[in-house]
Amino acid sequence: MEQYTLNLLIVGASFALYIGIAVWARAGSTSEFYAASRGVHPVTNGMATAADWMSAASFISMAGLIAFTGYDNSSFLMGWTGGYVLLALLLAPYLRKFGKFTVPEFIGDRFYSPTARLVAVACLIIASITYVIGQMTGVGVAFSRFLEIDVTWGLLIGAAIVFFYAVLGGMKGITYTQVAQYCVLILAYTVPAIFISLQLTGMALPPLGLFSEHVASGVPLLEKLDQVIADLGFNSYTGHHTNTFNMVLFTLSLMIGTAGLPHVIIRFFTVPKVADARWSAGWALVFIALLYLTAPAVGAMARLNLVDTIYPNGPTQDSLAYDERPDWMKNWEATGLLKFEDKNGDGRIQFYNDKSESFAATAAANGWQGSELNVNRDILVLANPEIAQLPGWVIALVAAGGLAAALSTAAGLLLAISSAVSHDLIKGAINPNISEKGELLAARVAMAVAIVVATYLGLNPPGFAAQTVALAFGLAAASIFPALMMGIFSKRVNNKGAVAGMLAGLIFTLVYIFSYKGWLFIPGTNFLADTPENWIFGISPLSIGAIGAMLNFAVAIGISRMTEEPPQEIQDLVESIRIPRGAGAATTH
């Protein structure tokens, strides 16, 4: 059977499964649409949360970024995993105990302010729209290759699938669809990783294979990888080469951004009891660990296979003749995500670090003008089974997995956006007397509009999937996370402080990011060059969320101390959220 037919069959079967679940689990009330009637089992919720969490950035882009950078990009793993621990321990059970549908609703009630609720809605929408761009980018990448269609059509098909099961089923439909998507994506990620680990190291478990001997050379796999990429002028894979301060801030930004992402938080509103929120968080960590422990091995092995493909006899020997390139290169060239330019006219692929001084000198002496192969980071995981020449059904499974990862998170984000618009903006501020039927219709219309906007922005993403997502984490870190933390753990922070803190953190972070990304003042031009030399104190736009969060905390606490205390009933509310009944009074202010 041809590869294209296999891809159609497996991807089509997965889509049919998702749509069937959506029809079966159609939401008929606002409770089902927003929180699945709070009837989801902790294990089921843990699996759905894992799918919601492991987005296109985790499945498609993260291992690709690690593959091309090595240790320095391990901050993605540390930040995202650590942030989930923060969420499970510090936020999830308390927010579930509060018993509301959305994050802005909690902020509005806790800070006794409709303004605070509206500011939270704005923060949520900005962060979620930025995040969903990365998911739509991943959908386009996967579709363009495996269904051999244009990226634009891939985005439109993916948006149509999400529209159907998310608008129809709401949280109830999304929950059970995400369980199916988790099963698809985890099989799609681990099965090829096992095959490739066996090929390269003889070890079936990829995390152990990463530290095993490379079969062909007899040296440890990471040592072999360090050697071959050093021969091409690249930094060592296992070494640390970036600004440590910036790396720490980036990891922190990812951690607290993770804990502040509304589409993950609302998953904990779906379980029956507060204890179930903790249990579902624990199960989610187990399910997430299966992919996150495998990702470093996938990245390292993919990088080694890529170099071995281009330099079959080693980096010091002749490179691959372009006319003899394997089929996987031809397939990805058709998407525009892998490009070759024969700059010296020798008909061979020169792939090296053209920023390396030694290779710059060699290039000048030999008439080269820079590396001739451009590989988009987002394709590496999807191309990995083809590079390793795995069976066709494995390649098709990876296609289905990449789409499952992107679609599951996109659905969760879109639900968070639509809930904020219908429940917090329309019902909470514009029309408090709206009927349940009217609110449900408003939620579905809001989701449809959000899908259209996300698809449009996904056609022109501001970076690789994981980089775009990192910006969203920075925005959530600077705006939502501090408000939730202070709302739960401080009785002294009042409405004025909370509103000022969220606005300060959000505006500061947006201005910093937009300035360096060229999105401020004149679209398409750079206000400041996005280079380490121009960053203030060496802080990358991807890391600035941590500073924005600190500013949020400082402004909120400072203004609250200078103004009146919250009403006694609000202080009692904070105590009731944090302290189990009969355990005594809270003492922390």
**Predicted pLDDT of residue 61:** 79
Distance (Å, whole) CA 548 – CA 252: 11
End-to-end CA distance of the chain: 67
Q: Which residues of 508-533 are buried (b: 16+ CB within 10 A; e: fewer)?
A: bbbebbebbbbbbeeeeebeeebeee
Pairwise CA distance, residues 267 & 174, whole Å: 10
Q: Helices in 151-243 by DSSP H: which ranges?
A: 151-201, 206-209, 221-231
Q: How far apart are CA 131 and CA 134, in angstroms?
A: 6
Q: Which amino acid is at 88?
A: A
99 SS3 class: coil
What the block records as the tokens of 338 is 């892998």
- Count Cβ neighbours within 10 Å for each residue of 346-372 and write b for 16 or more, e otherwise: bebbbbbbbebeebbeebeeeebebbb
CA-CA-CA-CA torsion sign (266, 268, 269, 270) = positive
Sequence length of the chain is 589
Give 189-192's long-range contacts (Cβ < 8 A, gap of 24+).
Answer: 189/59, 189/291, 189/294, 189/298, 189/381, 189/398, 189/401, 190/290, 190/291, 190/294, 191/394, 191/397, 192/384, 192/385, 192/388, 192/390, 192/394, 192/397, 192/398
CA 116 – CA 390 distance, rounded (Å): 53
> Within 13 A of 554's CA, how many CA atoms are on the CB side?
8
- In sequence order, the 6+-apart residues with CB closer than 8 A to the CB of 432 are none
Q: Exposure pattern of 167-197 as b/e (b: 16+ CB <10 Å)?
A: bbbbbbbbbbbbbbbbbbbbbbbbbbbbbbb
* Residue 588: predicted pLDDT: 43
pLDDT in tens, the chain (589 residues): 688 888 889 888 988 888 888 778 777 777 777 777 788 899 999 998 888 878 777 887 788 888 888 888 888 888 888 888 888 888 888 888 887 778 888 999 999 999 999 999 998 888 888 778 777 777 777 777 777 777 778 788 878 877 776 776 677 778 888 888 899 999 999 999 999 999 999 999 999 999 999 999 999 999 999 999 988 888 899 988 888 888 999 999 989 988 888 888 888 888 888 888 888 888 988 999 999 999 999 999 999 999 999 999 888 888 899 999 998 899 888 878 889 988 888 888 988 887 777 777 766 676 666 788 888 887 888 888 888 888 888 888 888 888 888 778 787 888 888 888 888 888 888 888 888 888 888 888 888 888 888 888 777 665 544 556 667 788 889 999 999 999 999 999 999 999 999 999 999 998 888 777 665 554 554 556 667 777 888 888 888 999 999 999 999 999 999 999 999 999 998 888 876 444 444 444 4
Instruction: Give the per-residue pLDDT at 488.
Output: 93
User: Measured between alpha carbons, how far is 448 from 446 in angstroms, rounded to an integer?
Assistant: 5
Q: What angle do CA 497, 469, 372 make, to 5 degrees?
A: 145
- Separation CA 482–CA 495 (nearest Å): 13
HEC letters along 225-254 = HHHHHHHCCCCCCCCCCCCHHHHHHHHHHH
Angle at 515 between CA 512 and CA 521, to 5 degrees: 130
User: β-strand 373-375 against 338-340: which pairing, if any?
Assistant: antiparallel
Closest CA to 461 of 533, 535, 406: 406
- Nearest residue to 276 via CA among 26, 42, 107: 42
**Tokens 């990995």 map to which residue?**
384
Residue 278 has a CB neighbour count (10 Å cut-off) of 18
Enumerate the β-bridge partners of residue 220: 213
- H or E element at residue 373: strand 373-375
pLDDT at 558: 97
Residue 234 CA to residue 228 CA, distance in Å, equals 9
User: What is the set of domains in the chain, with CATH numbers?
Assistant: 3-301+386-578 (1.20.1730.10), 302-384 (no CATH)
Residue type, 98: F
Q: Which of 457, 488, 470 is nearest to 75 (CA)?
A: 470
What's the Cα-to-Cα distance from 357 to each of 339, 352, 538, rounded to whole Å?
Answer: 24, 11, 23
* Residue 369: predicted pLDDT: 66
3-state secondary structure of 33: helix
Q: Tell me, what DSSP letter sits at residue 348?
A: B
Q: 58 burial class (0-12, 13-18, 19+ CB within 10 angstroms)?
A: buried
Helices (H), 339-391: 357-366, 380-387
Q: What is the distance between the alpha carbons of residues 314 and 348, in angstroms, rounded to a whole number?
A: 14
